[in-house]
Amino acid sequence: MIPLDPLPNLIDQVYGRLLEAIIDRTLLPGQRITQNELADRLGVSRQPISHALHLLHRQGLVAESGKRGFEVTQLDPQRIRELYEVRGAIDALAARLAATHVKEDAGARAQLESALEAGRAIGGDAQLARLIALDVDFHSAIYRLAGNTAIEEMIAPQWPHMRRSMATVLAELDYRDSAWTEHETIAAHIFSGNASAAEAAALAHAQTAGQMTEQKLRAIDVAA
C-alpha cells in the first residue's frame, strides 16, 4: 500500500485504503494487523489508524485480536447468503422501478448505458478491483434510475460486505462473462420498459451470484 499524503481528511483516506485492501484481499481474511504495522506501511501516525480500524470494527470487517491488534474477519457463508437474499429483493424492486422511469430520466439512463458499455469492454487481464468497481457501478446506476433514494440508502452499508464477497467469484473468468451477460439482459428489459421482466432478471441474477458465492466460500472452508 502506498503512503498517504497528510491531508485534513486523513482518517477517511486511511479508512478507504484499508477497506480496499480488505476487499481486494491485500489483507486476507484472518490476517492479524496492528496499528504500528499499518502506521509504518501507510506512512502516518497511529491516531488515524486507530480511528479507521474502529470504523471497520463497527462494520464487522475487522475484529479485535490480542493487545492493540485486529484481524480481518472471515466471510461467513450463511451471512453472505442472507445478504444476497435481501439484495435480491432490493435489486428486483430497483429494476422494476428503473423500467418504469427509464423514459423520464435521461441522465440516469445515460449513466446505466455508460456502466453497461464499460462492463462490455472488460478485458481478460482486468484487475479484480476494477471488476468489482464496474459491477458496483452497474447496479448503482440501476438504483439511481429507480428514483427511490431509500434503495441506495439501505444498500450502502452493505456494499463493503458485498464487494468482499464479489472478490471470491469475479476472479474466475467464466463468471465474469456470465455476470455481464446477465447484466445485459437486465438492462435490455429496463431500456424497453418491461418492468416485470427486469424485476425477474434482477432477482435471478442476485440469486445466482449469492449461490455461487456461498458455494465458493463453503468450498474454501472445507479446503482449509
- Domain range holding 178? 77-223
Count how many domains the chain has: 2
Spell out a b/e string for 185-223, using b for 16 or more CB atoms within 10 Å of the CB, else e: bbbebbbeebbebbbbbbbbbbbbbbebbbebbeeeeee
> In whole numbers, what is the pLDDT of the chain averaged over residues?
90
CA distance 210 to 196: 21
pTM equals 0.87
Question: Does position 187 have pLDDT exceeding 90, yes or no?
Answer: yes
Q: Quote the pLDDT of residue 22.
A: 93
Considering 50, 72, 94, which residue would you say is the last residue of a domain? 72
Q: Quote the pLDDT of residue 6.
A: 57
CA distance 138 to 142: 7
Q: Quote the pLDDT of residue 111.
A: 97
Instruction: Please indicate, yes or no, whether residues 96 and 58 belong to a single structural domain of this protein.
Output: no
Instruction: Please indicate, yes or no, whether residues 129 and 94 belong to a single structural domain of this protein.
Output: yes
3 is a domain residue: no
User: Can you spell out the DSSP letters for 97-155?
Assistant: HHHHHTTT-HHHHHHHHHHHHHHHT--TT--HHHHHHHHHHHHHHHHHHHT-HHHHHHH
4 is a domain residue: no
Tally the residues of the chain: 224
Considering 36, 53, 72, which residue would you say is the last residue of a domain? 72
Q: For 103-149, write each residue's pLDDT tens digit.
A: 999 999 999 999 999 999 887 778 888 889 999 999 999 999 999 99
200 is a domain residue: yes
